[in-house]
A and B are shown apart, each in its own frame.
Chain A
Amino acid sequence: MDIKDIISMVFIGGGLFFFFTGVVGLLRFPDIYTRMHALGKCDTLGLLLNVVGLAIYNSSSLTSIKILFIAVFILLTSPVVTHIIAKITYDSGIKPWQKDNS
């Protein structure tokens, strides 16, 4: 158990925390748009932290670079997916949940 392991454990623990909040948000929030906030943000950062933690733990540099490429792909694709689903939802006429209605 050296310092590298502890750093990667901290990163992975942080990622798990964000995953956990993302899932809680997915279950608690009232409508699809608000749930998308939980998906688009917590999930992205959680995965980013997990991936960086694993890349730090890994010893071979080439594999670490490949693992970091996963993080780059996620950063590029995640907002696009969130935006596309939001647009499709809006086009199909689902109205956002308002505070006054409840």
Chain B
Amino acid sequence: MIVDGIIILMGYILTFLILFTFWCIFSGYFDAFHLLLGVICSIIVTIFSSHYLFPEPITIESIKRIGRFIGYIPWLIYQIIIANLQVVYLVLHPRMPINPKIITVETTLKDDISRVIMANSITLTPGTITVDIKDNTFWVHSLSDASSSGLINGDIEQKVKTTE
């Protein structure tokens, strides 16, 4: 019973801390009056909107998961740079060697957040855009043959699975 209460309270406290950090960065004043205003505003917004940010109760597992997601970001940025170089090559090539088509990819990812990460990663990585998601199937528009091969052999899915 007490543990449940602490877990629910954790969501509120985390939301408040995030909001208050944003307030401090964006206001730029660090005297008592402005910080007090920030605390009041953050508390009001927290009461109304905490359940949007953390719809599920927070456990140690979910905090670990955020840590694993931060470890995933460098790989994503590396992929974004590769994606851009590929698109630059395709755009500036005089004959434009593109072969666009829509392919479907099956996924075994279970929960929604992993799927969102997966879809956004597909959109950001080489020559592919997520067009639609229905249940376990992703409709993906790929720009050339080379770009779709990385998706079909499931590199991204493996990487996303490590954050689960």
A and B touch in the complex (CB under 8 A): yes
Within 8 A of A (CB), among B75-90: 80-81, 83-84, 87-88, 90
Q: A86-B131, A98-B101, A99-B100 are in contact. Are A79 and B124 (CB under 8 A)?
A: yes
A20 to B80, CA, bound (A): 17
B-side contacts of A82, CB under 8 Å: 123, 129
Contact of A97 among B25, B100, B127 (CB under 8 A): B100
Within 8 Å of chain A (Cβ to Cβ): is B148? no
Given the complex, which residues of B lie within 8 Å of A78, measured CB to CB? 124
The smallest beta-carbon distance between A87 and chain B, in angstroms, is 6
How many residues of chain A get a CB closer than 8 Å to chain B's CBs?
33
Interface membership of chain B positions 110-146, coded 1 if the CB is closer than 8 angstroms to chain A and 0 otherwise: 0000000001100110010111100000010101000
Report the nearest A residue to B28, measured CB to CB. A62
Query: Does B98 make an interface contact (CB < 8 A)?
Result: yes
Please tell me if the beta carbons of A40 and B123 are within 8 angstroms of each other in the complex. Answer: yes
Selected contact of B87 from candidates A25, A66, A86, A90, CB within 8 Å: A25
| A4 interface hit (Cβ, 8 Å) | no
Query: A residues within 8 A CB of B92?
Result: 21, 24
In the complex where A42-B84, A45-B81 touch, is A86 in contact with B129 (Cβ < 8 A)? yes
Which residues of B pack against A, CB within 8 Å? 25-26, 28, 80-81, 83-84, 87-88, 90-92, 96, 98-102, 119-120, 123-124, 127, 129-132, 139, 141, 143
